[in-house]
Amino acid sequence: MSSRELVVGVVGATGAVGREMLKVLEQRNFPAKEVRALASKRSAGTLLEFKGKKIKVEELVPDSFKGMDLALFSAGGSVSKKFAPIAAKDGCIVVDNSSAWRMDPEVPLVVPEVNPKDLEKHKNIIANPNCSTIQMVVPLKPIHDQARIKRIVVSTYQAVSGTGHKAIEELEKQVRALFNMQDVECNVYPYQIAFNCLPHIDVFLDNDYTKEEMKMVNETKKIIGDNSIKVTATTVRVPVFYGHSESVNIETEKKITAKEVRALLTQFPGVKVLDNPKEKIYPMPIFAAGEDDVFVGRIRDDDTIENGINMWIVADNIRKGAALNAVQIAEELLKRELIP
């Protein structure tokens, strides 16, 4: 890694992902000589903790990026659309967690275990993929390299933290209200999320899929770098605080057995295989929360097609699905000397 010490900004530092970004920068001892926290005017002046010291949240303004080397953005699509080009013009490299730039052909969309080389063509904006997509493509990459994946059918079980801190509060409040025989209030989600499942993440599109579902379809192809992979997704919000789960069925061109998949994944960085049905060992959000790895289990041959595999993938959506992946991108940029 380069010996350079950077001025790093976290945009959206008071949010669920922004707070985790600060935590991950600290835990991984990212080489920053200064870390700045930015958010909206509403929370300017709030104190956040970093490496045992208090840092004061600054209001995000167009001049915020002067003298800043790297900015990790997680303040929503409209903030990214407006401010990422301003930062980029000021020579600050942006790693953006929103969906604003992901499908822009000029912008690399990167999961460091999968397509780190794509960083080499960056023009100061790099997109961090959708949380459900990140955790799916990490274990699929070595399988694709070995057996070429033709088709993916995925159903997700996504935690409320993916929607942000207000959604975490909404689930907490609804659970408390229901245990006290009170009516629930729905502000973030259109229906009660406590003790329920909502087959609706992000907005519905003209084709009746949700935007989240189409993110999984389009981003998977871009990250793996193979437009011929067919992907179909159903994304569901479930009453879990941290950790997305996914049931994934793949069809490959070449035969690969469940046993071979298990062996491949055991070797692959960032993946931990938890797969021993007889001992009741399989991944679950309660184990994945707070962890860095993508956990894979329930790996089975799908005998209904010639070359098919089923698996169950779980990861902490705020860490590998967002903050950790963003910091890993920054580390990879340093390693490849792509930060001027």
Give the bridge partners for 276, in sequence order: 281
**Residue with Cβ nearer ligand A2P (13 or 137):** 13
- Taken as a whole, the chain contains a residue count of 340
Using Cβ positions, the residue closest to ligand A2P within the complex turns out to be: 15
Does residue 40 touch ligand A2P according to CB under 6 A?
yes
Only one of the segments 71-79, 107-115, 145-153, 177-185 lies at the binding site for ligand A2P (rule: CB under 6 A); that segment is 71-79
**For residues 317-335, b (16+ Cβ closer than 10 Å) or e, as one string?**
bbbbbbbbbbbbbbbbbbe
Dihedral through CA 223, CA 122, CA 270, CA 231, nearest 10? -10
92 annotated active-site: no
> What is the nearest approach in angstroms of ligand A2P to the Cβ of residue 143?
32
**Residue with Cβ nearer ligand A2P (75 or 107):** 75
Only one of the segments 10-18, 100-108, 176-184, 318-326 lies at the binding site for ligand A2P (rule: CB under 6 A); that segment is 10-18
With CB under 6 A as the contact rule, the residue among 15, 270, 285, 321 that binds ligand A2P is 15
With CB under 6 A as the contact rule, the residue among 56, 81, 166, 176 that binds ligand A2P is 166
Only one of the segments 123-131, 161-169, 221-229, 231-239 lies at the binding site for ligand A2P (rule: CB under 6 A); that segment is 161-169
- The DSSP element (H or E) to which 222 belongs, if any, is helix 211-224
**Residue with Cβ nearer ligand A2P (42 or 117):** 42
Catalytic, out of 131, 144, 197, 200 = 131
E strands within 200-293? 230-237, 244-252, 271-273
Angle between helices 211-224 and 131-147 (to 10 degrees): 40
Burial class (CB in 10 A: 0-12, 13-18, 19+), 109: buried
Does residue 155 touch ligand A2P according to CB under 6 A?
no
Tell me the C-alpha distance between 159 and 22, whole Å. 21
Mark out the alpha helices in 51-98 (DSSP H runs).
77-89
Does residue 129 touch ligand A2P according to CB under 6 A?
no
Cβ neighbours for 289, distance < 8 A, ≥ 6 positions apart: 241, 242, 243, 316
Residues 20-39, one symbol each (x = binds ligand A2P by CB under 6 A, - = not), give -------------------x
Tell me the C-alpha distance between 127 and 327, whole Å. 12
Structure tokens that stand for 335 in this block? 């390693």
Cβ neighbours for 303, distance < 8 A, ≥ 6 positions apart: none
Tell me the C-alpha distance between 335 and 337, whole Å. 5
**Residue with Cβ nearer ligand A2P (12 or 297):** 12
> What is the nearest approach in angstroms of ligand A2P to the Cβ of residue 15?
2
With CB under 6 A as the contact rule, the residue among 151, 165, 221, 300 that binds ligand A2P is 165
Catalytic, out of 92, 122, 144, 244 = 244
> What is the nearest approach in angstroms of ligand A2P to the Cβ of residue 306?
43
Does residue 76 touch ligand A2P according to CB under 6 A?
yes
Does residue 55 touch ligand A2P according to CB under 6 A?
no
122 annotated active-site: no
Does residue 16 touch ligand A2P according to CB under 6 A?
yes
Does residue 164 touch ligand A2P according to CB under 6 A?
yes
Residues recognised as catalytic: 131, 244
